[in-house]
Amino acid sequence: MKRYVRPLAAWLLTAVAALAIAACGGSSSSSSSSSAATSSAAASSGGSSSGPINVVVGTAPDSLDPGFGYTTQAAEADWLSYTGLTTYAHANGQAGGQVIPGLATALPTVSADGKTYTATLRPGLHYSNGAAVKASDFAYTIERSSKIPWGGAGQFYGGTIVGAADYAAGKAKSISGIKADDATGKITIHLIAPYGAFDNVLAFPSSGLVPSGTPMKNMPNSPPPGVGPYKITNVVANQSFQVVKNSHWTPIPGIPSGFSDISVKISSNVSSNALAVLQNSADVFDWADTIPGSLLPQIQSQASSRYSKKVMNSTYYVFMNTKTKPFSSQLAREAVVTGLDQRAMSRLGSGTLIPGCFFLPPQMIGHPTGQCPYGNPANGGDLAKAKQLVKQSGMAGTPVTVWSETRTPRQQWMTYYTQFLNQIGFKASQKVIADATYFPTIGSLKLNPQTGFADWNQDFPNPIDFYLLVQGSAIQQTNNQNFGQVNDPHVNSTSAKLGATPGSKLASIAGQWQALDSYLAQKAYIGVFGYQTFPAFTSTRIDLSSAIFHGLYGWDWSSLKLK
Amino acid sequence: MATTSASGTEFSGEIPVSSEGVGEIPPGIGPWQLAWRRLRRNKTALFFGGLFLLIVVLCMLAPVYSHQIAHAGPADGFPDKQIHVGGTTEYVLGVTGIPIGPTWHSRFFLGADGSGRDVAVRLLYGGRNSLEIGAIATIITMILGVLLGVVAGYLRGFSDGVIRFGLDVLWAFPAVLLGVSLGVSIAVGGLGPIKGNSLYVPALVIGIVYIPYVARPVRGQVLGLREREFVDAARQQGLSHSRIMLFEILPNLASTIVVFMPLILANAILLEAGLSYLGAGVQPPNASWGTMISDGINSIPAAFHNVLVPGIMLVLTVMSINVFGDGLRDALDPRAKVRIAH
Amino acid sequence: MARFIVRRLLTMIAVLFAISLVTFAIFEAIPSDPAVRLAGRHATPQQIQQISEKYGFNKPFYVQYLRTMKNIFTGQAYSYTQGFSVTDEIKAGLPATVSLALGAGVLWLLTSIFVGTLAAVRAGRYTDRMLTVLSMAGVSFPPFFLGAVLIYFLGYQAHIFPLGGYVKLTSDPWQWLTHMILPWFTLSVLFVGFYSRVLRSTILDTVNEDYVRTAHAKGLSDNQVLMRHTLRNSLIPIISLWGLDLAQVIGGGAILTESVFNLHGIGQLAAQSIAGLDIIVILVIVMFTAFAVVILQAVIDVVYALLDPRIRLV
């Protein structure tokens, strides 16, 4: 048998060796260039100073079609490509929350009863395919987004515009509350009731005009033409897309025309995305992704000048069911707010949380300036006091089910919270639900969940967007978002009144929002455990002097240019 | 390889265990005794068999370790605590959530995970779950696989057709894809009295997935056995089918079953880890080696021990079962060839 | 023979039908209402109703099943969560998956032939025992663990290989290669373990067959016998196994390897769709894989039947 070996081994070895040489060749030469190690994220790796800016995104947009897309990843691209009658100022942070005229000549005028909005379309506008923009396209756009339907359509169109719900349900051929005159460009919108944030609704990318006759279906592969400094092209499902300068764009005051084309690559490994930006083989780390805590020390030491944490308007909290034991007792709720250690929660979340106790986040108008009612959260929780409160409430030993999502760090937060509830005297156990079904599950009134994870990210910078989650009228059988079933007459009436105030007068009622938000915290209706910070992280190629980090959409891609 | 012809069309996934391997038995020695003699000579197999036993015992001692040494339960997280290691005081979780590495002391001997839990404690409890699921899954697969294989092979005809069709359907599913689909679906919805996060869910899923890998070769072997004289004799004595299957056919399958057990066990543990990695296996807050690796991958590169520790345990366990199983197979039936596809 | 082929085809179609039905039922059994899931957190009850009607979630099981199947076979299958055409999603994932399958396939086939043959000719000796333990180690490594270890040591630590991801062959062949080497290796380790064991036993069996003895008696040298007779015959089962496994990998079966290396191929698409409970994408992928496996199986059966008259056509 022994004699078989040599010739056989010879021809097999040749084959294996060929592969091995390929492998070794790969290793030796790619190790010479350090960028090769992480170029995974950006195929067209860096080096050249011209060319597109490479953005790496961890999660694919739900759809780049503005008639469907709702996630931040979609909005980043869509708000530059689909301008509505109004849009947001291209400015840093909170200043970016200001609504400015978009395709309308001015901000819409509001009738005295607050129910009729009138605007006039700018003349001479063109879509990215060259077609002229008509006033009736606005009506068509709202109809299309209602029909597809866009995730916010039921609430923001159906709930506000006369006839939009009937249209979506197929009971009408058009939305009766919208009138448009192509000859004059005049657009009139009738609302069911005064809605202070309607200027913001008009600024959603889903309200960004698309041509009449665009198919009434989600078109993620080839998003429809829009009006904006950029347009979206070359979409490859779950892999990549490009946002390029729109040659048919006519400049509008307040909307910059942009510098570079943007090339977006979707890659779910955020660690390798972060390293790619660190090593300049990609230019922008998507702000909505979290830089893994394990890479932060390296990034902070090697790239501190191009990494910072930004606060956006989002709040993490535990909801507490005010209708069911034990959290029907205010003392029990106070115990949670008093005792939960937000510093530990922050560690579990890679240090991305900033502590706080108010529902309205720090950058939002109406965020209270006063002290937290149950101890300063930055100092950690008062466990002894919390235990005492539980005893006092008479709820000690009550079984509690803590609901949580699967994803990191939300699951870890709730594991810790469960442990905490047990420490202060409840009998808590954790129930983990698949991400895809979490909110539908806890949104079922029949389930009547006791407590668990919840969060809210702003749709627009108006406190009413948060207070929709604690209004008694928001409690519904399925898809309930008022998880704690908070139904306090003071909260209901005040938030309704403040919410109807037109957005332009928001600054004048800031004090009243602050008072209401302090009241909510005083009653311990929800257990806020922090506000998330987001990473602003770019390569050395990006000129940060002109770059805008927008309060709503994160990096303003039209402000990015190469050094 | 005469047995392949019996089942003709199904060479692909697995080559049936030959039933004639035990042919050269010296007079006076039973086949099992002979196998034991052969196994005793195979030092490698014995070594790995011992290693497996050691791992099992360690995992069974998880509560003892947890209470007496580490003073922490598998679900207890300490993200807010500091510990003293070698004269310095360190947070269990750093400010950016980086867990402490192995301390080589009683507390956090193998470091902490991203939730500030003791990795050594979770490793043992997780191992218990992994082994338990593997064992239950193996039992399910063996019972159902042998049952279906014997019934199909012995009765032939209509029952055979139905069973073979069912096996073909199961077999055409990629194992992981079927496992993940079933796992996610049941984890979300539960299954009758079994809650979605019960350990029995992955055990059941894995048990079902591997049925064809046992049933098909068993059927092939039974097709051969039913033509043998002793079965004919039993039939002529007027014994019922179920008695023949139970008392005549089944004992002859003993060595096949023994050979298959470690193979299924090893693959069940591997599949459990794979499902858990994809979020379709053991559901939190329970741990298994698979979920630990899956969680740990988030903390690469700063805390690689979170991947390495459970991974090494997993590989050692599966490998020890495999090597011991291979030795067992050689001992029982030096010519047998068994395979499981992934 | 014709009857055999027809029968085989009919069984094949029945199996595919059953597979689609089972997959559909698995996800249909989830108690959460897909309309609520798709509607998003802002949705009003009216909007949920609208979605339910649009996708027919309020219809009975068999109507939904037939409707879904019709959509799939007419190319009208669109992902529920993203709206992409499923065909487009598969097309986008195919280059990565095919790169993985072909590269790894060649690597694991050649390596296992080498290892298996070496173990067989050295049967019982030290080399054989070492190779046995190595093969056992190979089949004991879960791909996601092996992948993570390789990425950590060769990527993060040594900077030799990228951390994962896929680069198109057409856009940069060199990058394509460096991105594929670790996934190829990871996937191959598993298969080499199996294949080399199977090949070793097959060779040992074949050596004792009559025709090999005859060949020896004819005065052929040991090497000639090995190459012309033993190996050639022993390779048949290995290569048909290889075909089936390759079909599975192309159909998204390498879900773990694809996920850990973040290749965004069909396997990862399947994993993501399952996590997002996007049933139509899962259905298409499962059927795609099952098609590949079942058809190839049938072809191999027929070819075997033609080649080997000893096989009874059942």
User: For residue A240, what is the nearest residue in chain C, using CA coordinates?
Assistant: C92
pLDDT of residue C204: 81
Query: For A1, which of C121, C158, C262 is closest by C-beta distance?
Result: C121
Q: Which chains touch A (3+ CB pairs under 8 A)?
A: B, C
- B181/C286 touch (CB, cutoff 8 Å), yes or no: yes
Tell me if chain C has a CB within 8 Å of the CB of A281: no
Mutate to test the interface with B, among A410, A412, A429 (most CBs of B within 10 A): A412
| Band (B25; pLDDT cuts 50, 70, 90) | very low
* pLDDT band, residue B333 (cuts 50/70/90): low
The pLDDT confidence band at residue A35, using thresholds 50, 70 and 90, is very low
b/e code C242-277 from CB counts within 10 Å (16+ = b): bbbbbbbbbbbbbbbbbbbbbbbbbbbbbbbbbbbb
| Mean pLDDT computed over B261-285 | 89
Phi, psi of A191 (to 5 degrees): -100, 155
If you measure CA to CA, which chain A residue comes closest to B294?
A: A408
Distance from CA of B68 to the nearest CA of C (A): 31
pLDDT at C248: 82
Q: Tell me, yes or no, if B194 comes closer than 8 A to chain C by beta carbon.
A: no
Q: Which of residues 118-137 of C touch B (CB under 8 A)?
A: 129, 132-133, 136-137
Tell me the chain B residues in contact with residue A297 when contact means C-beta distances shorter than 8 Å. 96, 98, 302
Instruction: Output the pLDDT for position B28.
Output: 63
Query: Could you say which DSSP state residue B18 is in?
Result: P
Given CB atoms, is A60 within the 8 Å cutoff of chain C? yes
pLDDT in tens, B283-312: 877 889 999 998 888 778 888 899 999 999
What are the tens digits of pLDDT across the range A66-115? 999 999 999 999 999 999 999 999 999 889 999 999 999 999 999 999 99
Q: pTM (2 decimals)? A: 0.85
pLDDT tens-digit map of A309-365 = 998 899 999 999 999 989 999 999 999 999 999 999 998 888 889 999 999 999 899
Q: Using CB atoms, which chains have 3+ pairs under 8 A with B?
A: A, C
Q: Is B232 exposed, middle or buried (0-12, 13-18, 19+ CB in 10 A)?
A: exposed
Q: Round the average pLDDT of chain A to a whole number and report it.
A: 88
Partner-chain residue, chosen from C22, C27, C312, that has the shortest CB–CB distance to B5: C312
Render B228-240 in DSSP notation, one character per residue: SHHHHHHHHTT--
How would DSSP label each residue in chain C?
Answer: -HHHHHHHHHHHHHHHHHHHHHHHHHHHT--S-HHHHHH-TT--HHHHHHHHHHHTTTS-HHHHHHHHHHHHHTT--B-TTT--BHHHHHHHHHHHHHHHHHHHHHHHHHHHHHHHHHHHHTTTSHHHHHHHHHHHHHHHS-HHHHHHHHIIIIIIIT--S-SS----TTT-HHHHHHHHHHHHHHHHHHHHHHHHHHHHHHHHHHHTSHHHHHHHHTT--HHHHIIIIIHHHHHHHHHHHHHHHHHHIIIII-HHHHHHTT--SHHHHHHHHHHTT-HHHHHHHHHHHHHHHHHHHHHHHHHHHHH-TTS---
Backbone torsions φ then ψ of B341, nearest 5 degrees: -95, 155
The low-confidence residues of chain C, meaning pLDDT below 70, are: 1, 210, 227-228, 305-314
User: What pLDDT is stored for residue A392 in this prediction?
Assistant: 94
C161 contacts on A by Cβ (under 8 Å):
26-27, 30, 37
Q: Give me B9's structure tokens.
A: 């069309």
- DSSP 8-state assignment for residue A426: -
Q: Is the pLDDT of residue A45 over 50?
A: no
The verdict on a CB contact (< 8 Å) between C45 and A479 is: yes
Contact B94 A347 (CB under 8 A): yes
Task: Give the pLDDT band of residue B321 (cuts 50, 70, 90).
Answer: very high
The mean pLDDT value for A523-541 works out to 94
Q: What is the ipTM score, two decimals?
A: 0.86
- Model confidence over A137-195: pLDDT tens digits? 999 999 999 999 999 999 999 999 999 999 999 999 999 999 999 999 999 999 999 99
Instruction: Please say whether the dihedral angle defined by the alpha carbons of residues B84, B85, B89 and B95, taken in this order, is positive or negative.
Output: negative
Amino acid at A319: F
Q: Which residues of B touch C202 (CB under 8 A)?
A: 337
Other beta carbons less than 10 A from residue A85's beta carbon: 28
How far apart, in whole angstroms, are the C-alpha atoms of residue B277 and residue B290?
Answer: 5
> Does any CB of chain B come closer than 8 Å to the CB of residue C17?
no
- How many Å lie between the alpha carbon of B101 and the closest alpha carbon of chain A? 12
Question: What is the DSSP secondary-structure string of A147-171?
Answer: HTT-TTIIIIIITTBTTHHHHHTTS
Q: Decide if pLDDT at B173 tops 50.
A: yes
Nearest to C36 among A12, A45, A479 (CB): A479
How do residues B38-50 score in pLDDT, each as one tens digit? 888 888 889 999 9
Query: Quick one: what percent of chain A has pLDDT higher than 90?
Result: 75
* Closest residue to B173, CB basis, from C19, C143, C201: C19
DSSP labels for B125-178?
A: HHHHHHHHHHHHHHHHHHHHHHHHHHHHHHH-HHHHHHHHHHHHHHHHS-HHHH
The partner residue sitting opposite A350, judged by closest CB among B75, B96, B284, is B96
pLDDT of the residue at B27: 59
CB contact under 8 A, B181 and C14: no
**Contact state of C275 with A478 under an 8 Å Cβ cutoff:** no
Average pLDDT over residues A413-423: 93
Mean pLDDT for chain B overall: 82
